[in-house]
Amino acid sequence: MRRQGEGIEDYGNYILYYKGETPGQYGVDFLIKHNYTNRIEELKGISERIAILNIKVSTQDGRDESWSIIQAYSPTEANKKEDVDKIEDFYKLLQKTTETAHNCNGRFQRSNWGMP
């Protein structure tokens, strides 16, 4: 995501939530179909590399469950001491985010959508 700042843009059939601080780098976002927006409990940018979406999801048996979906953009390649520190800080913040997500009894799914 290359947008700077934090915001929500409406595109008719969906909304785009974004958070970014460094122009042209990093940033996280969620693209959500408009018919799910009334089920959103919270959209929160933790940092320019971590955001959380708390949303009500209907289960197969018709119950509603609260889910926390975390979007994370991990730093890579630690060539210098400050890079190592940034990576360690990122994972500490990600750990804290997962611990404080309101659905602590949930499942974790890892994905590398942009990777071959």
* pLDDT band, residue 115 (cuts 50/70/90): very low
* Residues contacting 62, CB < 8 A, separation 6+: none
- Which DSSP string do the residues of 28-41 spell out, in sequence order? EEEEEEGGGGGGEE
Lowest mean pLDDT among 8-17, 36-45, 70-79: 70-79
- 24-34: per-residue pLDDT in tens? 788 899 999 99
Statement: residue 7 has pLDDT above 80: yes
Q: What is the pLDDT of residues 60-77, one digit of tens each?
A: 999 998 889 999 998 877
Mean pLDDT, residues 48-53 taken together = 94
pTM across the whole model: 0.78
Sign of CA dihedral 60, 61, 62, 66: negative
